[in-house]
Structures are given as C-alpha cells and as structure tokens.
Amino acid sequence: MNTIELEDGGTLLFDEAFLTKDLADRYFTELRDNCQWEQKLGIFGHMQPRLIASYGDAGISYRYSGMDYAALPWTAKLLEIKNKIEAVQGEYNYCLLNRYRSGSDSMGWHADDEPEMGNVIGSLSLGATRKFRIRHNETRETKTFLANHGSLIIMAGTMQQFWQHEVPKTKQVVGERINLTFRKILGDTK
C-alpha cells in the first residue's frame, strides 16, 4: 500500500493489487450480474453517464446532485468486500457502486464533501483499467492514477475539502468497470 501525503492535509492510499485477479474476477461477475443497477437523471436533466446501485445499513441514504440514493440491504459479497477494506482503513455504512459500460461512461470533477459524510472513502475498482485523476482546488495540480482490476484507493484526511477527483471519458476501447465507493454517512441526509 502506497501512502501519498497531499497538499493541505489530504492523504491518498493506493494499492494497485489489493485483490488477486481470481478474487477480483469473482467479485466483478457477482456484482455485474446481481446488483440492482439503474441509470438516473443527473444535472440539467441529462441521464448520468454510468449505471449506479446503492447498498448499506438500514435507513441510510445519500444525497448528491439533488437526488436521494436510499441504500438497499447489504449483500453477502458486499459485506465481504467492506470488511476487507475496513481492515485497511475506515468504517463504512454505505456503498455507492458505479458501473462504467464503456469509455464514454464517466464521472466528472467533484468532491465528496457533503457535511453528513465522514472524511474516509474506500474506492475499489473491478474490471477495465481507467484513469483516476485528482486536482487541487487552488493550485490546479493534477495527479493521475491507473485504477485497475482489483486496485484500492482510500481518500482520507482533508482530501475532499481541497481536492476534486474524476474518472474521465476515453476514446480508447475499454471494457466494463465497476467502482465501489464505501462511505460513512454520519446523519440523516434528507
């Protein structure tokens, strides 16, 4: 696990081989075939450029971009993955899954800085390798990481207050990718 200390107190932990290939393959297939995926409206009335699913503790929901994402009950596989990530860092009660079907599915620049969210986010990548970029809010310094099959990125410290992150579109032909972002929702988000 590489620890990267960022400007302004942010910390990023990066393990490009957190899961073995066989285990990552099994998780990818299980999640792709069994999660309740949906495509939701985003800002300005456009459909979000990816599919999403939300799981977590009973009664937990997450609000961003004007939408509420109520958690479905944890599956056995998601609890297994959650326990593996919590063994590294964090305590989580919610998981937002993003399914990128091709290189044209993406996530724009943003920070997960909602006041009801804790400051540790565990992000596991399964499937096709995609760029994960971070950018400092003031200096515009940008760093790029390759989020590959079975890699883990943990964002902590003040990273969400001073840095944004994205998964940009690519014209390269890439397969599907599933990203799991584990979070701690601290209170009622409605």
Q: Which residues are annotated as a binding site for substrate?
A: 62-64, 113
Query: Residue positions in the annotated binding site?
Result: 62-64, 98, 100, 110, 113, 165, 177, 181, 183
As a whole number of angstroms, the distance between CA 24 and CA 115 comes to 32
Three-class secondary structure of residue 74 per DSSP: coil
Query: Residue positions in the annotated binding site for 2-oxoglutarate?
Result: 98, 100, 110, 165, 177, 181, 183
What contacts 83, CB < 8 A, 6 or more positions away?
A: none
The strand pairing partners of 110, in sequence order, are 165
In the numeric block, the tokens 């009660």 are attached to 93
Residue 72 neighbours by CB distance under 10 Å: 14
Write the DSSP symbol of residue 50: S
